[in-house]
Structure 1
Amino acid sequence: MKKGFTLIEMVVSISIITMISTLFIANYRSSNKRTDLILAAQSLVADLHAAQNNALGLNKYNGSVPAGGWGISLQTGASSYVLFADLESPGVSGNLEYDSSTEGNINYGARVTDFPRGISISNIATSLASSTSAADVTFLPPDPKTNIYDLNSGATSTAIEITMQETINNTTKTIRVNFLGLAEVID
């Protein structure tokens, strides 16, 4: 009796190893994108809390506490968001809205956060509208009072849901912020 492998046994073994390796590599890429989406959603929640903490802590922007507090600016289809200082006082035109020319200077504490490649905001829904193209969430010191401002309607809302999507698997994550400032990933 001869010991060893026949050519057919080797071909079958190599085929099985190749098939298993291919399945592993394909699943690794898609699970990596899902992980990127989860981390991006958690990053947005963390920055919402950072804006809230900036308002609570009376953090300064360009040497003074922003009259309108701190906030996050969001746009449907965008692959980034902005943490900004709202310089206009409540009741003044421009309050609750992000103005990129004066309120987003990174040298004073504002910042733009980019999502990983292939991840974007697919929908923004407020308690007033099931879909809007842009909204700002601001926190007014010292409480901090939470303002959810729908830029399309020009009205404030009591809640917002931000849906983020990754393009490989079309997986989504939704972040909810309520009128009390509670921000969480809900799915």
Structure 2
Amino acid sequence: MKNKGFTLIEILVSVGIIIFLTALFLSNYKSGQEQFALERSSYKLAQDIRKVQEMAMSMKEENCSPSGIVTGFGLYFDKSSSENDKYILFGECTGNKTRQPSDNNTEIFLEKGVKISEVKKNGGGGNKISIFFIPPDPIFYVDGNTGKNIEVILSNSLGESKTIKVNTIGMVEIE
């Protein structure tokens, strides 16, 4: 007579394999989430740089006080500990080609766990950078001056990073 069914050993081995595979999947889930958050944030930042360029090229009209005229559009990055989870999109109102508190500012937050770890101007470090585009060309300014490259480095808690580069003519690249 044949016994049909599973032995206790076969059931325990099957359950053990299922538990092992579940633990393996769940341990990689969080790191996968952080990797994708870094990817999404870097592409969002590059997209926002291009958006600011397009706003300058199209000479987008926006209300501005005190002058009433937006002279261009830009992004502001601050890697200090309290500000490193966001950047600011601004419409420049004062004519000095850098962000001012009185400008039309929109804060854009990075995804959870992603921070601005470094900002570089022509290869040198710094804490803050303001990039700016003047219509209609758009002419590219960094902290009020032309002819500079910038790098904004985003990182996550796993130590991974993405570098967003903007060259002197405003071309955006992600590494």
TM-score of the aligned structures, taking structure 2 as reference length:
0.88
Q: From the superposition, tell whether residues 132 and 156 of structure 1 become closer, same or farther in structure 2 (CA, over 3 Å).
A: farther
User: What fraction of aligned residue pairs are identical, expressed as a percent?
Assistant: 28
* AA partner of residue 153 (structure 2): T
Q: How far did residue 156 of structure 1 move?
A: 5.7
Q: In the alignment, which residue of structure 1 is the partner of 2:163?
A: 174
Q: How far did residue 88 of structure 1 move?
A: 2.2
* AA partner of residue 121 (structure 1): I
Does 2:114 align with 1:119? yes
Q: How far did residue 71 of structure 1 move?
A: 0.1
Count, aligned residues: 168
Does 2:39 align with 1:38? yes
Query: Over residues 91-149 of structure 1, what are the superposed CA-to-partner deviations in whole Å (9 max), with x where a residue is unaligned?
Result: xxxx132112x213xxxxx42111111111001111151x2100011001121110112
Does 2:149 align with 1:137? no
TM-score of the aligned structures, taking structure 1 as reference length:
0.83
- Are 1:123 and 1:163, in contact at CA under 8 Å, matched by a contact in 2? yes
- Secondary structure of the residue that 2:140 maps to in structure 1? strand
**Distance (whole Å) between structure 2 residues aligned to residue 128 and residue 29 of structure 1:** 33
- Are 2:73 and 2:133, in contact at CA under 8 Å, matched by a contact in 1? yes
Q: How far did residue 39 of structure 1 move?
A: 0.8
Unpaired segments of 5 or more residues in structure 1?
A: 90-94, 105-109
- Are 2:119 and 2:152, in contact at CA under 8 Å, matched by a contact in 1? yes
Query: Over residues 45-102 of structure 1, what are the superposed CA-to-partner deviations in whole Å (9 max), with x where a residue is unaligned?
Result: 11111111111111122165412x100000114101111011122xxxxx132112x2
Q: How far did residue 35 of structure 1 move?
A: 1.0
- Are 1:79 and 1:121, in contact at CA under 8 Å, matched by a contact in 2? yes
Q: How far did residue 155 of structure 1 move?
A: 6.2
The runs of at least 4 aligned residues of structure 1 exceeding 4 Å deviation read 154-157
- Secondary structure of the residue that 2:130 maps to in structure 1? strand
